[in-house]
Amino acid sequence: MLRRTNGCQPRTANWTGGLAIVLATGMAACGGAAPEPAAEPMEETAPAAPAEDRSSTAPTVGFVTPTDGATVTSPVSMEFIVSNLNISPVPAEVESPRDGMGHHHVGINTECLAVGEAIPKADPWVHFGDGSKVFETLLPPGAHTLTLQIGDDQHVTQDGLCTTISVTVE
């Protein structure tokens, strides 16, 4: 719990109470007055923050378009998005994969590869080693599975960085 007896500590962690109130409370405490009891209920909301931080640092990947279950026309336009990961062109020479960097791969009518596997440079996989975040491809009418998977500089799959959607081409 963030329960401090020193009222002079900046309370920058409190985003819910409003900055003006936090500053006013802090200044009153620094001026020698007794700590304001009114500030306590606001601090009780603080413990929610660390859990939120943990989930927001996990890398994710997904399709902006199309959405899962969508009916689309060919050529099918795709747009990719990541969070907490940098999409970067693969360097000309790779001695070891860079941390926190990767590029997109689309697998047509195939599932996610296992973590730690190198993504084949062949059908049904398309590599976007130039850092592209969009793709357009012709698909025949019918149901299709689109898999979007991140690979590092050596095209090796990463934990949690794959998603599969289903679309129907008209």
Q: Which stretch binds Cu ion (CB under 5 A): 4-12, 16-24, 30-38, 126-134?
A: 126-134
Nearer to Cu ion, 7 or 151 (CB): 151
Cα-Cα-Cα-Cα dihedral of 84, 87, 92, 94, to 10°?
A: 30
Q: How far is the CB of 129 from Cu ion (least distance, A)?
A: 5
Q: Which stretch binds Cu ion (CB under 5 A): 17-25, 33-41, 74-82, 143-151?
A: 143-151
151 binds Cu ion (CB under 5 A): yes
# chain residues binding Cu ion, by CB under 5 A? 3
Q: Which of 62, 108, 127, 135 binds Cu ion (CB under 5 A)?
A: 127
Which residues in 6-31 are b (16+ Cβ under 10 Å) and which e?
ebeeebeebeebeeeebeebbeebee
Residue whose CB is less far from Cu ion, 98 or 127 = 127
Residue ranges binding Cu ion (CB under 5 A): 127, 151, 155
